[in-house]
Chain A
Amino acid sequence: MKGTEVAQAVKEKFKDLVSNVSFPRDRVVRLYVPRESILPFCKFLRDELSCEHLSLVTAVDWPENFECVYHITSYLEEYMVELHVKIPKDDPKVDSLSPVWKGADFAEWEAYDMMGITFVGHPDLRRILLPEDYLYYPLRKDFKG
């Protein structure tokens, strides 16, 4: 499946919710969805567009907001979705994807540990690489070490 076909399929279902669609490579589609609709969007990707594998969850600290970047792979159709979600700085929360992909919790642990983004609905959110009583989120830009 080509990136353009994937973009068309999600646009038909989610209409205006999908924005800033671009195609970095032939079989890769990059798009933004609002924070509230991430769970139904990912369920749609898994059930209708055969995205079996969540590769990576990245959190980026921009000056105005946080951003979560999800790299989602379809093994069968050989394409990839790069999903961006903007998260406000004063309320760093987003729905956990562990109901959709079981392996998501490990990746989300790391984003929580390093960037302090809370994943709502995560089965066991805790510090994984840093000590339990650590006070800071070191990958934030205001952390100077």
Chain B
Amino acid sequence: MTDIWINMGPQHPMTHGLFNLRVRVDGEIIVDANPLLGYLHRGVEKLCERRDYTQIIPLMDRLCYVSSLTWSHAYCLAAEELMEIEIPERAKYLRVIALELQRIASHLMWLAAFGPDVGMFTAFLYAMREREYILDMLQMMSGARMNQNYPRIGGVRNDVPPEFTDKCLKVMDYFDGKRKQYERLFDDSAIFLMRTQGVGYLSKEDAMDLGVTGQTLRGSNVPIDMRTHDPYEVYDQLDWEVQVEKDGDCYSRYKVRMNEMWESTKIIRGALKKMPKGPVRVKPPKRPKGEAFRRTEDARGEALIYIVGQGETSPYRVKVRSPVFANLRAAPVILKGNTYADLLAIMGSIDVCIGETDK
């Protein structure tokens, strides 16, 4: 028996971003795997120490281009905790709407990448088509399709235009109407089910022990979502449910993400309905002192930002917890014992984004 190490990457259709997954195979079976990171390391945490608090917001947007708003929001939330300010009620609702739009856009981007991985190119075309409408809404809010730079410490940059509510509801109706089409495309497809069901099993105990979060954790039957576990903004006042699946395989992780998208439309409808009138921003203090952290549910899992301030205009230390970094830790455990042909489906179902992993 000879062992062979195969380099999947750094440039490979599987890797969304640059990273190298070294896989040891015995014939067709994967015996070991080792993710090599660092190709996209930009030193974000060091850069934060040279910039003032407001200048960090666009930098945080660049952590993950697929779901940039969730990152700048997580940073603003932690900075508000450090500065001990309370933001206006309307800003909280606007943030929730923006975050959920971003979550749908991010999940659609994931679907567009995951589909071709398991041999369904139609998924790419469908998901990209819908994503464009969602990005239109984000553009209407913030002026940009991607890297929006929309949250501010103390609120959001600007209020939405008056026609936003109607247009957004229209998009939500359109998107909800597509649900059946998606379910028929995926859940009725024998090929898709064969490639995902029972593949890449991760047990509940392993998932908790390895520090896995997000959809990978919820796909393994652990109902933990930071939006309810450690509520922020107004998520606890809106009507929605945490999505969990029992099986712990690729199909469960796919199903959690799909259900979450429809759940997000529910949150957006609720937030649009309940949103009060009023200001959207307060002025933050300039030189905070102390330390603070906040957790949010990023599109990929638990994002945690820890800030230490020393009474200067720039923070003393900023630390970013990337959910994908921890989820990649679980990749070797999930991969072991599966066939090499299933590797794409498994890594696709983890939803890797290297920008935030390498920082």
Within 8 A of B (CB), among A107-143: 107, 110, 114, 127-131, 138-139
Give the docked Cα–Cα distance between A138 and B81 (Å).
27
Q: A78-B229, A130-B38 are in contact. Are A114 and B45 (CB under 8 A)?
A: yes
CB atoms of B208 and A53 under 8 A apart: yes
The reply to whether B308 and A103 contact each other, CB–CB distance below 8 Å, is no
**Looking across the interface, which residue of chain B has its beta carbon closest to that of A134?**
B38
Specify which chain B residues have a CB less than 8 angstroms from the CB of A110 in the assembled complex. Answer: 325
Q: Are A56 and B306 in contact (CB under 8 A)?
A: yes
B16: interface (CB < 8 Å): no
Size class of the A contact interface (CB-based, 8 Å):
20 to 34
- Judged by DSSP, the binding face of A is mixed
The smallest C-beta distance from A92 to any residue of chain B, in angstroms, reads: 16
Residue of B nearest to A69 (CB): B306
- Indicate whether B129 reaches chain A with its CB closer than 8 angstroms: no
Answer whether residue A96 sits at the interface, using C-beta atoms and an 8 A cutoff: no
From A60, A82, A103, A139, contact of B293 by CB (8 A): A82
> Within 8 Å CB of A4, what residues of B?
none
* CB-CB contacts below 8 Å: A41-96 with B: 52-56, 58, 60-61, 69, 71, 75, 78, 80, 82
In the complex, what residues of A have CB within 8 A of residue B329's CB?
Answer: 103, 105-106
Measured between alpha carbons, how far is A78 from B226 in the docked complex, in Å? Answer: 10
Partner of B317, one of A56, A60, A103, A105: A60
Closest CB-CB distance, A25 to chain B, in whole Å?
8
A106 to B324, CA, bound (A): 11
Cβ A101 vs Cβ B43 within 8 A: no
Determine whether the beta carbon of A60 is less than 8 Å from that of B308: yes
Bound together, the chains give a CA A53 to CA B206 distance in angstroms of 11
Asked if A75 and B208 make an inter-chain contact with CB atoms under 8 angstroms apart, the answer reads yes
CA distance A102 to B212 in the complex (A): 11
Q: Which of B37, B46, B209, B316 contacts A103 (CB 8 A)?
A: B209
Residues on the A chain within 8 Å of B209, using CB: 52, 101-103
In the complex, are the beta carbons of A54 and B317 less than 8 A apart?
no
Determine whether the beta carbon of A71 is less than 8 Å from that of B292.
no
Most A C-beta atoms less than 10 A away, residue of B224, B306, B317 = B317
Whether B222 and A75, one on each chain, are in contact in the complex, defined by CB atoms closer than 8 angstroms, is yes
Give the residue of B45, B229, B295, B306 whose beta carbon is less than 8 angstroms from that of A75. Answer: B229
Report the Cα distance A102→B207, complex, angstroms. Answer: 10
Q: Which of B37, B210, B213, B292 contacts A129 (CB 8 A)?
A: B37
Of A27, A71, A107, A129, the residue contacting B326 (CB under 8 A) is A107
B282-296: contact bitstring with A at CB < 8 Å (1 yes, 0 no)? 000000000011010
For residue A82, which residues in chain B have a CB less than 8 angstroms away from its CB? 293
Residues of the B chain whose Cβ atoms lie less than 8 Å from the Cβ of A78 = 229-230
Chain B 71-109 against A: per-residue CB contact (8 Å), 1 yes, 0 no?
000000000010000000000000000000000000000
A104 CB within 8 Å of chain B: yes
- Chain A residues with CB under 8 Å of chain B are 24, 27, 52-56, 58, 60-61, 69, 71, 75, 78, 80, 82, 101-107, 110, 114, 127-131, 138-139, 145
